[in-house]
Amino acid sequence: MGQLKLENVKKRFGTAEVIKGVSLDVKHGEFIVFVGPSGCGKSTLLRMIAGLEEISEGDVHIDDRVVNSLPPAKRGIAMVFQSYALYPHMTVYENIAFPLRVDKLSNDEVDKKVMVAARILKLEERLQHKPGELSGGQRQRVAIGRAIVREPSVFLFDEPLSNLDAALRATMRVELTKLHHDLDATMIYVTHDQVEAMTMADRIVVLDAGFIAQVGTPLELYHKPDNLFVAGFIGNPK
Ligand code: ADP
Ligand code: MG
pLDDT, one tens digit per residue, over 96-108 is 999 999 999 999 9
Mean pLDDT of 218-226: 94
**What's the pTM value of the predicted model, to 2 decimals?**
0.90
pLDDT digits (tens, 9 = 90+) for 46-56: 999 999 999 99
pLDDT over 70 (residue 26): yes
Contact partners, residue 133, CB within 8 Å, separation at least 6? none
How many angstroms is it from 89 CA to the middle of ligand 2? 28
Instruction: Give the C-alpha separation, 184 to 66, whole Å.
Output: 23
Percentage of the chain surpassing pLDDT 70?
Answer: 97
Of 12-21, 29-38, 64-73, 157-166, where does mean pLDDT reach its minimum? Answer: 157-166
How many angstroms is it from 126 CA to the middle of ligand 1? 36
Contact partners, residue 173, CB within 8 Å, separation at least 6? 161, 195, 196, 199, 200
Percentage of the chain surpassing pLDDT 90?
Answer: 70
Torsion, CA 202, CA 208, CA 211, CA 213, rounded to 10: -50
Whole-number pLDDT of residue 12: 98
Number of the ligand 1 atom closest to the C-alpha atom of 44:
6
pLDDT over 70 (residue 115): yes
Which residues lie with the beta carbon below 6 Å from any ligand 1 atom? 13, 18, 36, 38-44
Whole-number pLDDT of residue 27: 97
Mean pLDDT of 79-89: 82
Stronger pLDDT, 61 or 161, i.e. the higher one: 61
Q: What mean pLDDT value characterizes the chain?
A: 92
Stronger pLDDT, 59 or 138, i.e. the higher one: 59
Whole-number pLDDT of residue 236: 52
pLDDT over 70 (residue 82): no
